[in-house]
Structure 1
Amino acid sequence: MASGDRDYILLDHGSGGRATHRLIREIFYSAFEASGEGFLDSAILGTHSGPLAFTTDSFVVDPIFFPGGDLGSLAVHGTVNDLAMVGARPLYLACGFILEEGLPLADLKRIVLSMARAAEEIGVKIVCGDTKVVPKGKGDRIFITTTGMGEILADPYPHPRRIEPGDEILVSGPIGEHGLAVLSARESLPLKGLRSDSAPVWPLVEALLKALGPAVHALRDPTRGGLATTVNELAQEAKVEIELLESEIPVRAEVRGGCEILGLDPLYLACEGRFVAMVARGKGEEALQVLKELPGGHEARLIGQVRNQTDRPLVILKTAIGGERILPVLTGEPLPRIC
């Protein structure tokens, strides 16, 4: 093996032999043993008295490093946030890696260490996983699949079927930052001040559930398709008409300016560290104060309400100039490979 070859992923790393064992021991095991019990093909999990939530997601973001995050932290945040959306405290993660021949080992190590830090920060254990290597040109550097398990602490747990007329709608922070930050990094656009919002939302969700209990009717994270598509999905599942107030939806000036230049709508850009909450009538201000007192929630806003039950679910946006327009689901994919 040439000395330079030791700096990159080789097909030999997927053979199951000495190179595979060295890769797992030196990169994966050394990073993940602190957050779990090593990095095994199977894990033995503890017993839990309550119901468990289970989810899986794959991450193929391009570029793999972007302002405010990277593929590794995103793979952890995306999965623990999905667990949080049903009121589940994240407990365990399993992860699978598809590595392309030629990937610099330094990049792989950086991503794995980022995953380990993100898991430690939220208190989730990475307990098992797998790696596969594909020939150069048959992948795109690295893909990660994470599967998560969490303990549901909410009773009843948040679900769109619990949405009712009069429910008040909050968003936990400014929207559109992840999607635009990734696009800007991918295309080397000269847009300043952009950072992904990628972050775990469980601390905010846990506080909301403790304060409001069953008054938290539904939660959803606005990832692909952004806020507009997410709220439409909730309306469709609950069979309700929803009203959003454009003037109350938080959008940072950097995101708004970038969208104006590129002809994009921040309402359809992905977030990776925000969530939408539907809470019972009269509970919106209390929920807002809970979020505003916590790190990551100080820019939360009340952005709308559920109008009524209907056989024709839709989302109506009350514009900043006083008009109304129907806010449709995203059509097409203007920003592929953002998560």
Structure 2
Amino acid sequence: MPQNPLFQNIGKNRAKKVRDKYINLTHGSGGKAMRDLINDVFVSTFDNPLLNSLEDQATVNFASLIQHGNKLAFTTDSYVVDPLFFPGSDIGELAINGTVNDLAVSGAKPLYLTCSVILEEGLPVETLRRVVKSMQTAATKAGVQIVTGDTKVVHRGAADKLFINTAGIGVIPDGVNISSKNIQPGDVVIINGELGNHGAAILIARGELALESNIESDCQPLNDLIANILNVCPHINAMRDATRGGLATVLNEFAISANVGIRIHEAAIPVQEKVKGVCEILGLDPLYLANEGKLVLIVKREYADEVLSVMKSHPAGKNSCVIGEVIDVPAEIVLLNAGFGAERILDMLVGEQLPRIC
């Protein structure tokens, strides 16, 4: 029986361009407006076979995972940074790089990410488009795919513009066992560059203080740098990215977990002069400021030169340096050597130095 011409095009191209200038509650209702938003803004931008099937989940073939290793790494993180756009980056790039880096510091090869967004009624659609495009650009750079997600809309005033959650999975290669439990006295501490740029950039971008500076966030993916390190030295003892709480908090977590002491040398720690200036004015310590592209690595001393050489040859590690060493005592304490024989305890961050930093 011939098909009625009236119905020939039904089911084709149902998803339309979103013509609304602002997010409204219908965009989270589960109906046509929500489907149009998802197809127009998210699917068309992320565009990959696993996502385009538009099932309630992404289905990944085990064979595609096993070829990379024998252990699965799985992580999740939420991003509420204020403002959404800041010098050097934005919430979209931050959401991708943050989750990629959390996988990478386990030694995993990041592969697949999710994207869940909570949108406040009244958010400009163009702002959302800009963030989503930034996410895809970051995902392409990091070599990962965004394969599933979720969209929710809340009433005006129930959120602050846009929140993002990203979860990610990756695979850890055979023979890689990175854990703070591996840290031993005599190991050395290495970082891949200047500290505090992200925290200082966010603080200035909020415009709440009469400060001007060209400080940019250090937001960047670390997975390629880490892959290069593991290629020459798969026996890294511990790695972590120094985000909230900064370097000081990461080192304290290491010391407590491994029941060791850590001594770092203030003169060896790279901090840009403009970041130091902001910290001095506001009474902040750059060792506690958040970073979004800084790696803290602990390795046996015998491997340090080789690891450092590889790191310095990579754009994300060109300013890498050794900043300290692991010691027997005092256990579970981090010491900062300030020179001239002076030392002080560098404790974990207490309280909130700067909220909504990531």
Q: TM-score range by the shorter chain?
A: over 0.9
Distance of 1:68 and 1:36 partners within structure 2 = 30
Residue 167 of structure 2 is aligned to residue 152 of structure 1: no
- Say if 2:58 is the partner of 1:43: yes
Paired residue for 1:121?
A: 141
* Residue 303 in structure 1 maps to residue 323 in structure 2: yes
Aligned residue in 1 for 2:333: 314
Q: 1:191 to 1:155 in 2, by over 3 A?
A: farther
CA contact (8 A) 2:191 2:297 kept: yes
Q: Is residue 183 of structure 1 aligned with residue 198 of structure 2? A: no
Partner of residue 232, structure 2: 211
Please list the CA deviations of residues 269-306 of structure 1 after superposition, one character each: whole Å capped at 9, or x if unmatched.
00000110000122222211110011121101100000
SS at match of 1:324: strand
Q: Which runs of 5+ in 1 are unaligned?
A: none
Q: Report deviation, 1:327.
A: 0.4
Q: 1:200 aligns with which of 221, 239, 244?
A: 221
1:6 aligns with 2:27: no
Residue 27 of structure 1 corresponds to which residue in structure 2? 41
Matched, 1:275 2:290: no
Is the contact between residue 41 and residue 130 of structure 1 (CA under 8 Å) also seen in structure 2?
no
Moved over 4 A (4+): none
The one-letter amino acid paired with 1:164 is Q
- The equivalent residue for 1:260 is 280
Looking at CA atoms only, which structure, 1 or 2, has the larger radius of gyration? 2
Going from structure 1 to structure 2, the CA distance change for 1:178 and 1:45 (only over 3 Å counts) comes to: same
Match of 1:70 in 2: 90
Give 2:224's aligned amino acid.
P
- Once the two structures are superposed, residues 232-254 of structure 1 have per-residue CA deviations (whole angstroms, 9 ceiling, x without a partner) of 01100011000001000110111
Whole-angstrom CA distance in 1 between matches of 2:279 and 2:212? 10
Q: 2:48 touches 2:147 (CA, 8 Å); kept in 1?
A: no
Equivalences for residues 229-248 of structure 1 within 5 A: 229-248=249-268
Seen in structure 2, the aligned counterparts of structure 1 residues 274 and 21 have a Cα distance that, compared at 3 Å, is: same
Give the CA deviation at 1:155.
Answer: 1.8
Query: After the TM superposition, which of the residue ranges 313-322 and 233-242 deviates more from structure 2?
Result: 313-322
Shift of 1:319: 0.5
Number of positions where the alignment pairs a residue of Structure 1 with one of Structure 2:
334
- C-alpha spacing 1:154/1:280, structure 2 compared with 1 (3 Å): farther
Q: CA deviation at 1:154?
A: 5.5
Q: Return the alpha-carbon distance in structure 2 between the equivalents of residues 320 and 154 of structure 1.
A: 42
Deviates more, 1:145-154 or 1:161-170: 145-154
Instruction: Give the equivalent residue in structure 1 for 2:15.
Output: none
Q: CA–CA distance in 1 between the matches of 2:180 and 2:260?
A: 10
Query: RMSD of aligned C-alpha atoms?
Result: 1.6
Separation in structure 2 between the aligned mates of residue 257 and residue 46 of structure 1, nearest angstrom: 51
Q: Which amino acid aligns with 1:315?
A: V
What's the CA shift string for 1:45-70, capped at 9, x where partnerless?
12222211000000000001000100
Are the counterparts in 2 of residues 14 and 132 from structure 1 also a CA contact under 8 Å? yes
| Residues 274 and 245 of structure 1, relative CA distance in 2, 3 Å threshold | same
Asked whether the 8 Å contact 1:40–1:127 carries over to 2, the reply is: no
List gaps (5 residues or longer) in structure 2.
1-18
SS at match of 1:266: coil
Tell me, what secondary structure is at the counterpart of 2:323? strand
**Aligned-pair CA distance for 1:192:** 1.6
Q: Distance in 2 between matches of 1:223 and 1:181?
A: 14
CA contact (8 A) 1:35 1:124 kept: no
1:326 and 2:345 aligned: yes
2:32: which partner in 1? 18
Partner of 1:53: 73
Alpha-carbon distance in 1 for matches of 2:50, 2:97: 17
Distance 1:95 1:40, change over 3 A: farther
Q: Deviations over 1:9-29 (max 9, x none)?
A: 000111111110110011001
Q: What is the alpha-carbon distance in structure 1 between the residues aligned to residue 122 and residue 296 of structure 2?
A: 40
1:102 aligns with 2:122: yes
TM-score, L = length of structure 2? 0.90
